[in-house]
Structure 1
Amino acid sequence: MVRTESTMLPLGTPAPSFALEDVISGKAISLDTFKGKKGLLLMFICQHCPFVKHVEDQLGQIGQDYADRGIGILAISSNSIESHPQDSPENMREQVKRANFNFPYAYDATQAVAKSYTAACTPDFFLFDSEFKLAYRGQLDDSRPGNDLPVNGKDLRAALDKVVSGESIPETQKPSIGCNIKWIPGKEPAYFGA
């Protein structure tokens, strides 16, 4: 497994627009879906990645813990299912059940959404404030597969708490680390591997 860091998109960047479909409900999901929220957490994840499997229960718990706190949450899988059929929408639905996700989970078949956010790895987190300006793009916590540190989501939870309370988040943020997004061959973004 190749360890890839998040690109650390500049803080304050406006959230790019998108139009996706929730693999569970079939409902259309866009930025407008989250208007009026205190913040929006976008998580680029997938079904098979060992880094995501390591934290998926915590992601489900975050969904439960912030459901009534004004945070919109969307998980997105952008992996090519040509090269990684285990990340298909059908298998994403199994992940939703397994990890108790209570938020929409969309498949980015063209990978256009991942590219517009400069997503690079799974998991990759982008937290926006109420005006859809990027406030946090860092790690969940210090835990990684095999390092025996607890999966508690402390870094992301601290950022979520600040967004909920309208406080600014410190600009020093540790990048997320995970498997690289599995790009459609020949269509890798310019920032991939940079």
Structure 2
Amino acid sequence: MVLLHTPVCDFGLPAPDFDLPGVDGRRWTRDAVRGPAGLLVMFICNHCPYVQAVRERLVREARDLAALGIGVVAISANDPADYPEDDFAHMQAVAREFGYPFPYLFDESQQVARAYGAVCTPDFFGYNRALELQYRGRLDASGRQPAPAGAVRELYEAMKLVAGTGRGPAAQLPGMGCSIKWKAQGN
């Protein structure tokens, strides 16, 4: 397991489109998941301890962001050949267990993760209503363990600002997590 940090936010970068299968049996596109005030794209997976530490918080943030008009989607791009717990059936089970209120999509080809420039799980991309990147920071102070109760909700506060003003905060702390498990070349 390799710990990586996300790059600095490239403000204004457009959100790539996608068309991926969800654990709910539907296919989802970027425009189907965006909200009237913006979009949060999260790259997550099942096996990563950094994601496991924050699953309940992801549910809370998604619900609270939906109330602000921010659409939320989660995408798993890990290669299940090497990490079987990240396969589609396990994705369905985890989404049910934690009551994910957002579409949980499988990027089997890994083309969407590459288009976004995702590097780790979790990796957060927050867009304004024009689908311009405004946030590429962390959820909060969580790492392999959840942040203490009462920790600043950095992602929520940033996306609340984006929903209200169209701009993200100038200062953003990078996210961290396990490297995305890329397929071997030629697969």
- State the TM-score, normalizing by the size of structure 2: 0.92
Alignment of 1:65-80 (within 5 A): 65-80=64-79
For structure 1, which segment, 55-64 or 5-14, has the greater mean C-alpha deviation from structure 2 after superposition?
5-14
Q: CA RMSD in A?
A: 2.0
For structure 1, which segment, 123-132 or 35-44, has the greater mean C-alpha deviation from structure 2 after superposition?
35-44
Letter in 2 for 1:132: L
SS of equivalent residue, structure 1 residue 7: coil
Distance 1:118 1:111 in 2: 11
| Corresponding position: 1:16 with 2:2 | no
Distance 1:174 1:154 in 2: 12
Contact 1:19 1:30 (C-alpha < 8 Å) held by counterparts: yes
Alignment of 1:98-109 (within 5 A): 98-109=97-108
User: Residue in 2 aligned with 1:168?
Assistant: 167
Distance 2:62 2:76 in 1: 17
Distance 1:147 1:106 in 2: 24
Contact 1:141 1:151 (C-alpha < 8 Å) held by counterparts: no
Q: Give the unaligned 5+ runs of structure 1.
A: 189-194
Letter in 1 for 2:68: R
**TM-aligned CA distance change 1:165 to 1:148, over 3 Å:** closer
**TM-aligned CA distance change 1:148 to 1:11, over 3 Å:** closer
Runs in 1 of length 4+ with deviation above 6 angstroms?
none
Distance 2:164 2:103 in 1: 24
Give deviations 1:17-73, integer Å, cap 9, x for gaps: 11112112x222112214562010000000110000000110011122223321111
Q: Give the unaligned 5+ runs of structure 2.
A: none
User: Aligned residues: percent identity?
Assistant: 37
How far residue 108 of structure 1 moved from its aligned partner, in angstroms, is 0.1
Contact 1:58 1:152 (C-alpha < 8 Å) held by counterparts: no
